[in-house]
Amino acid sequence: MAGASSSPPLTRPSVEAAHEAIKEHIHCTPVVTSQTLNDLASRPQSPTALLGTVFEGQTPASPRIHLFFKCENCQRIGAFKSRGAFHALSRLTKEQLARGVVTHSSGNHAQALALAAQTQGVKAFIVMPTISTPSKIAATKGYGAEIIFSGSTSQEREAMVEDVIERTGALLIPPYDHPNIILGQGTMALELERQVLELIDGDPSLSVRRKDSTHTDGGPTSNGASNTRVGSSLAQRSGRLDAVIAPLGGGGMLAGIATALSGTGTKVFGAEPSFQGADDGRRGLAANQRVTTVKTSTIADGLRTPVGEINWTVISDKSKVHGVFAVTEEQILSAMKLVIERMKVFVEPSAVVGLAVCLYNEEFRKIVEEEGGEEGWDVGVVLSGGNTTLEAISRMFATEDKEAERAEGKIGEKGERIAENVAG
């Protein structure tokens, strides 16, 4: 792929231009709300939920939070990755496209690039680990891509990509660490702004700022606004979000959202799993140095990648990303259960880490309590994808149930705390 130096600058106008370039190829995914989830997020956690944390013995935070969910699980190929893939191809010349494109990915980016290439009539070569999910392999093949299998390590995948480039002359489209990918992913933030404003215009009670009417519907309301260009003047109008929180893996999405919302007054936060060091973004910010390797088997499999170099320059900028927070595996499962059962929205584990932070991360909740005061915050939460299966979900919760039955002491208490949080 063309070098980063030839790409547009990482600015909001560049994101707006990216949206204009790809809007005919992507879905403007709906934004949904749920009074049930608002109530849960605004309810103090049980003191027992803080046992074993640095907040043990403290009064649980009592923030007021209204949530607006950007449903990228409804995007083409079932995840936000389509945005970056289509934008990356839109930046290539006819001569470059004629060479074909190549990438390495175990899932969502593989499908996204295969679809974008098929749409443009371009040959796509996708290097996938042999351990990739069969359904994702089948979907990638279904979009006409040629799959080349490799080992599971990044070194093995990258070596195979180099072989493909040498053999075919194809151009590399990175999964996340490139300005064109970042700008494409950031387009969801422009839509989210517009859709939230339209929702609040239609029902002011959806916002924490309007207390003169009530909204009692426990199910989701939605807005799938049209694919029109989103102007930057929107940030100056009433109804803007106080914050947006998005999952953090390689960082293309979070960097894109932060770029799109820079200077608007909306704070941007990242969310990660904590299991086996998957919270490399959070740890890197604490150490003021990017963590370059991650080896984790977190259930949030889309977030097992370390933050990319270019993405790190955005995410480590405190004026653009105001913090990254981590949650446990059981908190991710609890949030996933809520989204599926209460909101009736089908999501993968990686998609709900932002919601889990809003519900269970006491550090984030205290920020909302302190900065939002009695009024509270309107928070946009990105549900990044829904590429999982019923069988996989069943296994996740079956494993959790079996472990709870075998466990004693603290694990038993944790299981009870999850039940408390899910109830109501």
Active site residues: 81, 106
HSE-up of residue 166 (Cα within 13 Å, Cβ side): 6
Picking from 414, 381, 367, the residue whose alpha carbon sits closest to that of residue 46 is 414
- Decide: 276 and 298 in contact? Cβ < 8 Å: yes
Residue type, 133: T
- Show the tokens assigned to 226: 């049209």
Give the pair of three-digit tokens for residue 47: 């003191």
Retrieve residue 342's tokens: 């209460």
Q: Is 318 exposed, middle or buried (0-12, 13-18, 19+ CB in 10 A)?
A: exposed
Cα–Cα distance for residue pair 235/389, rounded to 1 Å: 38
Of the candidates 55, 63, 35, 42, the one whose C-alpha atom is nearest the C-alpha of residue 421 is 42
Q: Cα Rg for the chain, rounded, in angstroms?
A: 21
Strands 101-104, 171-172: pairing is parallel
272 secondary structure, DSSP code? E
Query: Distance (Å, rounded) from C-alpha 87 to C-alpha 201?
Result: 31
Give the DSSP H/E element, type plus range, for residue 353: helix 353-360
Helix (H) or strand (E) holding 57: none
